[in-house]
């Protein structure tokens, strides 16, 4: 069977939400044409949908290596890398301030890689809020809300951090 036939079979599997079969078909297509960037990209997208981000990055990188001028592949790679950084940052949320600063650093990089990531901005705001950096928290939450203006969590956090910012400013002026 040709690589294209495996791709067609993979799409049929996706239509019935059988992502494992789709992955197996994409892998077969890649065995037939290992230098086909499109096949690696399609497999990467399927891995990402299955939340297997490390494998998604691996194949997205390969697609970019094979077709470095393909803008879509580059955007996809940066999006997946951003998601990985967000996952890493979330592990630092229960820690001390040093760990929260690490989360902020990771989330800044996630935003740089994918400036359309609502979650990266929102979690960056939460991290700043946990550090008591309310002005930065407000700014990050506003960026998130630029992407999803009606997001209830974002609106609630913005109101909370604005209240805390004002309260903090009042305390500074009375002491």
CATH 1.25.40.10 fits 94-175, yes or no: yes
Contact 102, 86 (CB under 8 A): no
Q: Do domains 1-69 and 94-175 have the same CATH topology?
A: yes
| Strand intervals (E) in the chain | none
Query: 10-residue block means of pLDDT along the chain (175 residues)?
Result: 89 95 97 96 97 97 98 98 98 92 97 98 97 97 98 98 91 69
The domain segmentation of the chain, as residue ranges, is 1-69, 94-175
Q: Which long-range contacts (CB under 8 A, 24 or more apart) does 12-19 make?
A: 14/46, 19/46, 19/49, 19/50
Q: How many CB atoms sit inside 10 A of residue 97's CB?
A: 10
Report how far residue 134's alpha carbon sits from residue 144's, in angstroms, rounded to the nearest whole number: 15
Report how far residue 82's alpha carbon sits from residue 129's, in angstroms, rounded to the nearest whole number: 21
Q: What is the pTM of this model?
A: 0.88
pLDDT in tens, 132-175: 999 999 999 999 999 999 999 999 999 999 999 999 887 776 65
CATH class of 1-69: mainly alpha
């Amino acid at each position: 069977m040709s690589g294209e036939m495996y791709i067609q079979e993979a799409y049929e599997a996706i239509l019935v939400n059988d992502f494992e079969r789709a992955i197996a078909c994409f892998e077969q297509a890649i065995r037939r044409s290992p230098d086909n960037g499109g096949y690696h990209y399609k497999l990467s997208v399927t891995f990402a949908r299955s939340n297997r981000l490390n494998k998604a990055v691996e194949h997205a990188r390969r697609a970019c290596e094979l077709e470095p001028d393909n803008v879509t592949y580059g955007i996809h790679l940066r999006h997946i890398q951003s998601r990985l950084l967000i996952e890493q940052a979330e592990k630092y949320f229960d820690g001390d301030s040093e760990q929260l600063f690490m989360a902020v650093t990771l989330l800044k990089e996630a935003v740089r890689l994918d400036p359309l990531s609502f979650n990266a901005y929102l979690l960056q705001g939460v991290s700043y809020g946990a550090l008591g950096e309310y002005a930065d928290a407000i700014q990050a939450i506003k960026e998130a809300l630029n992407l999803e203006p009606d997001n209830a969590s974002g609106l609630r956090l913005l109101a909370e951090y604005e209240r805390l910012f004002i309260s903090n400013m009042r305390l500074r002026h009375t002491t």
